[in-house]
Structure 1
Amino acid sequence: MFSPDRRGALAGLAVLALLPRVFAPARAATSRDAGLVALLDRIDAGDPVAGLGALRGFDARGLSPVRRLDLLAVRQGLAVDARMLARWNWLRPGRSPYPVSPRTGNWRKVAEGGTVAADAIRADTQMLDAAANQGVVLPRALLDETLRAVEAARGRASGESAAALAGQAAALRKQRPHAPDHAGLVRLRGGSDYFALMLERALGEAIAPAAAHARAEAAARALARRADMLFAKLGMKGGSNGERFRALARDPRHLYADSGAGRDRAVADMNRWMARARRWMPQAFGTIPPAVDHVAARRMSRADEAAGRGGYRTVPPADGSGEGGYYVDLAHIRRRPDWTLSSVVHHELLPGHMLQMPIEAAADPHPLRLSYAAAFTEGWAIYAEELMAHAGAFEGAPEAELGYIQWALFRVGRALADTGIHSRGWTQAQAIARLRDLQGEGVIFAPIEEDVARICLEPGIRSAEFLMAASLADLRDIAGDVRDFHDHVLAPGSLPLHLVEAVARHDGAGTAVPTTYSGRGGAA
């Protein structure tokens, strides 16, 4: 939706329109597929120029639809990586610009009780030094956090590994006088260009960071206006939206009891929302895998709840031969007001991850393609929340709609923090203040301060996820048949945006993918 330049990546896609929507597995793979898979398996993502050379002469004729999309996506992604490597040739393309940080480095494996070879730790330190030689040094607060963590890991190690970690700690201490006060690629030499390439890589289409920021600002304004109207309906007319979200979150009428019965009630409420979504889905999806009948919101084990484990999911096979679901984190249940849970259902369960992930597993895209479609899975789940709001799921339930809006503002706020810090020079404090103003408190699994620190270290991905979701909504709104649109977009598995657009805009004959399940509500 953002760039008319496809750089030839869509050549040959038209053949997909000639194939039936669902066909027998025996016809799914072609004699050419195995050769492509073997070639993709050998490609080193750290050497994109060589990868492009290996793929340049590969003849796409005769490939199955999924493998053709693998080829197109990987070629495009490698081209972005080659441009990235030409600018910052000391860093592995697509990775954080900080080789060792609170979230990156082999020290983390040691901290978790694992064993790591000393040479791997020394290689991290060499990259840390190479980054510093290019002026890329962690912001001081994050450097201090990393140093403490590396020194703690050293205490758990022994022998050569302990010595290697001591050397890494010494390298960090040496960098400390040069550490900047504030984060952001825009503050680094060549950093603005690197951020734009990181964003393009994650999204799968080029967009100027300024345009990405403007899109997020417009979304934030629209959501804030709607929230203000809903708060007024509830008689909450004073204060900022952030203040009113905080007040609503403390309203005892919407809080569950901190007990087993309270947690059971929360899960039951989620499953009622999911049952409504499941009944509605045939209106929006032509082919629905049996897996959707085998998922549910579930309570964690008592041990996991007591340990405060984060929410997690188990994905069932598309054919419905196993069970799946979302195990919701309810350790701090008093921070989970009932109006926040319906949108969690639509994101984590239906029509979000528990629809998209089984379909993707059945399509079986190559892992290298998935690495160049980093924004799709989360972008789809964010879009699924918006889809339910667009379909009227929250009509007559203003609190639940405010829950959706708060989650949407969380996603938009992440995108604003990403572009704000890395392309506009925002400080972490500025980003934190903006997110608090938008959404009130941080969501249960992402305190605002921690989330902003993570965005400082992982540029591009949060904006890409928001933009993927927004683009899916744009494409849906111009699609002639929403069921056909969703089937086309989901069938091949995760795609970069330029291929999402191509698949979505087919002439309606269908994008064929191999499946082993019978569709419900559409073609079988």
Structure 2
Amino acid sequence: MTTRRALLAGGAALVLAGRAPAAPPTSLRAALDAAAALPHDPGAALALLAGYDRKGLGTAEQLDLDTARAGLAIDQDILRRFAVDPRAKGPPHTPAHATLLLRRKLGDDVDPRAAATRLEAERRRCAARADALFARLGIAGATTGARFSALWRDPRQAYASPDAALADMNRWLAELRARVPAVVGAVPPWCLNVAANPPTAADRTAAHFGYRTLPTPTQPGGYVPDLQRLADRPASTLPSVVAHELLPGHMVQLPLEAAADPHPLRLDYAPGFAEGWAIYIERRVADAGVYATDPLAELGYLHWCLFRIGRALVDLAIHLHGLPLAEARARLLAWQGEPAYFAPFDADLGRIVQEPMTRAAEMLFALAIENGARGRSGIALARYHHVLLDHGRMRSDELARRARRV
């Protein structure tokens, strides 16, 4: 079994110089455990953490404490104002309740109106780029979504077999693996020991697909894609899947976070960070010119962008402004044309209703990470990425504070 000590040793390449020495972890960890055991009394949980001075803690422990305090304070506000379990699924009672749920999942710095404006600007940017590429390729349609639907029906985009799709993913993975130092910065070599893998016989029997195994210093990692419906997996869509699910996306951030061992409360109050990192990385890969000579692969990336931006926009519109589901579906159809492989329009809208502000928080985490990266390159960008990766996830307001200090 891989020990936490081994994981930490493997992740040492990302630890920044000058990290403050950690206080004895057991006392704070025990207090956080006790706070987590009081899900229906956030006030009492906050009281358990009141006596801890963050200045004497290491970076990971500071993040644990700060994140727990911020999230518990929002839970206390939700209970006081709406008398509902902050963790409960289902539509929020009011727009104010929805806003608190967004703050709970993202950070205290979020402004829903400004967030919607930024998301719409990003949607227009992606759509304009996609339309320009479609015009170059001679693919017509009344909307951006209609053009994507035409691309989906192009027989040249179809894989002959799951093995062919898997081989293509591993070809892209080899290219992206070589680009990790330039796109992200130095990472432990074991993070790169990953592959796109076929399902096992047991996976096929259980219909278990679309899952990842994280690498460790002693074991390789991998991603088993769901390739059961090849007609819904055009070749253009898979390069960005490799960037997102493998490198430099989840297989960099999640293993290093496991090594940092964040407290479960930190995971609970910054739940969309990991997805935000992977979405951000998709754009960094595209901006690095990986698809410069492959407009179809760039269109696949843009479709994923429009999918994630679109579901964030309708998440906000449904829960803050009462957008009817039929209208939300019509917007998604016009924006992206085809649903994401794992998220048919109606099923995804049902999840958005039951899990308010989850999709919005994920995309807004990606934009928060982009904000911190703006204007950085080379060593400065790698240093910023280290701040995000070395000690595990953080909330968006904490991310902004730390980005300003890099």
TM-score (norm 1): 0.71
Amino acid of the structure 2 residue aligned with 1:93? P
Q: Give the aligned partner of residue 29 of structure 2.
A: 37
- Residues 1:241 and 1:48: Cα distance change in structure 2 (over 3 Å): same
Q: Give the aligned partner of residue 353 of structure 1.
A: 250
Would the aligned equivalents of 1:414 and 1:462 in 2 still touch at CA under 8 Å? yes
CA distance in 2, matches of 1:28, 1:323: 31
User: Does structure 1 residue 79 correspond to structure 2 residue 65?
Assistant: no
CA distance in 1, matches of 2:214, 2:140: 42
Q: Give the aligned partner of residue 146 of structure 1.
A: none
2:86 to 93, 96, 102: 93
User: Does structure 1 residue 50 correspond to structure 2 residue 39?
Assistant: no
**1:424-472: CA deviation from partner (whole Å, max 9, x where unpaired):** 1111111111111111121111101000011011111111111110111
CA distance in 2, matches of 1:307, 1:246: 31
**1:149-176: CA deviation from partner (whole Å, max 9, x where unpaired):** xxxxxxxxxxxxxxxxxxxxxxxxxxxx
**1:256-294: CA deviation from partner (whole Å, max 9, x where unpaired):** 12xxxx211111111111111111111133330222331
Q: Give the aligned partner of residue 105 of structure 2.
A: 202
- Residues 1:255 and 1:374: Cα distance change in structure 2 (over 3 Å): same
Q: Give the aligned partner of residue 4 of structure 1.
A: none
Q: CA deviation at 1:478?
A: 3.1
**Could you say what secondary structure the match of 2:405 adopts?**
coil
Number of matched pairs: 389
**Could you say what secondary structure the match of 1:299 adopts?**
coil
Q: CA RMSD in A?
A: 1.9
Q: Give the aligned partner of residue 68 of structure 1.
A: 62
Sequence identity (%)? 45
Amino acid of the structure 1 residue aligned with 2:248? P
Gaps of 5+ in 2: 1-14
Gaps of 5+ in 1: 1-19, 99-183, 508-524
Q: Give the aligned partner of residue 115 of structure 2.
A: 212
TM-score (norm 2): 0.91
**Could you say what secondary structure the match of 2:56 adopts?**
coil
**1:288-336: CA deviation from partner (whole Å, max 9, x where unpaired):** 022233101111125534764341101111x2x1011110001111211
CA distance in 1, matches of 2:183, 2:388: 12
CA distance in 2, matches of 1:23, 1:213: 39
User: Does structure 1 residue 252 correspond to structure 2 residue 244?
Assistant: no
Would the aligned equivalents of 2:109 and 2:397 in 1 still touch at CA under 8 Å? no
Would the aligned equivalents of 2:95 and 2:321 in 1 still touch at CA under 8 Å? no
Q: Which moved more, 1:305-314 or 1:214-223?
A: 305-314
**1:203-226: CA deviation from partner (whole Å, max 9, x where unpaired):** 123423222222221111111101
User: Does structure 1 residue 404 correspond to structure 2 residue 398?
Assistant: no
Q: Give the aligned partner of residue 11 of structure 2.
A: none
2:232 to 335, 350, 355: 335
CA distance in 2, matches of 1:236, 1:253: 14
Q: Give the aligned partner of residue 311 of structure 1.
A: 210
Amino acid of the structure 1 residue aligned with 2:87? G
User: Does structure 1 residue 496 correspond to structure 2 residue 387?
Assistant: no
CA distance in 2, matches of 1:339, 1:473: 24
- Residues 1:346 and 1:417: Cα distance change in structure 2 (over 3 Å): same
CA distance in 2, matches of 1:59, 1:241: 53
Q: Give the aligned partner of residue 126 of structure 2.
A: 223
Would the aligned equivalents of 1:310 and 1:445 in 2 still touch at CA under 8 Å? no
Q: CA deviation at 1:239?
A: 2.4
Q: Give the aligned partner of residue 330 of structure 2.
A: 433
CA distance in 1, matches of 2:16, 2:237: 37
Amino acid of the structure 1 residue aligned with 2:300? G
**Could you say what secondary structure the match of 1:313 adopts?**
strand
CA distance in 2, matches of 1:503, 1:56: 23
Q: Which moved more, 1:51-60 or 1:371-380?
A: 51-60
User: Does structure 1 residue 193 correspond to structure 2 residue 96?
Assistant: yes
Would the aligned equivalents of 2:21 and 2:58 in 1 still touch at CA under 8 Å? yes
CA distance in 2, matches of 1:303, 1:351: 28
Would the aligned equivalents of 2:239 and 2:300 in 1 still touch at CA under 8 Å? yes
Q: CA deviation at 1:381?
A: 0.8
**Could you say what secondary structure the match of 2:125 adopts?**
helix
**Could you say what secondary structure the match of 1:505 adopts?**
helix
User: Does structure 1 residue 415 correspond to structure 2 residue 312?
Assistant: yes
Q: Give the aligned partner of residue 276 of structure 2.
A: 379
**1:107-131: CA deviation from partner (whole Å, max 9, x where unpaired):** xxxxxxxxxxxxxxxxxxxxxxxxx
- Residues 1:305 and 1:232: Cα distance change in structure 2 (over 3 Å): farther
Within 5 Å, which residues of 2 pair with 1:84-483? Answer: 84-89=78-83, 91-96=84-89, 98=90, 185=92, 188=93, 191-257=94-160, 262-302=161-201, 304-305=203-204, 308-317=207-216, 319=217, 321-479=218-376, 481-483=380-382
Q: CA deviation at 1:198?
A: 0.4
- Residues 1:468 and 1:40: Cα distance change in structure 2 (over 3 Å): same
CA distance in 1, matches of 2:127, 2:102: 26
**1:56-108: CA deviation from partner (whole Å, max 9, x where unpaired):** 1222343222111111111111111111111112x222332x3xxxxxxxxxx
**Could you say what secondary structure the match of 2:394 adopts?**
coil
- Residues 1:441 and 1:303: Cα distance change in structure 2 (over 3 Å): farther
Q: CA deviation at 1:380?
A: 0.6
**Could you say what secondary structure the match of 1:395 adopts?**
coil
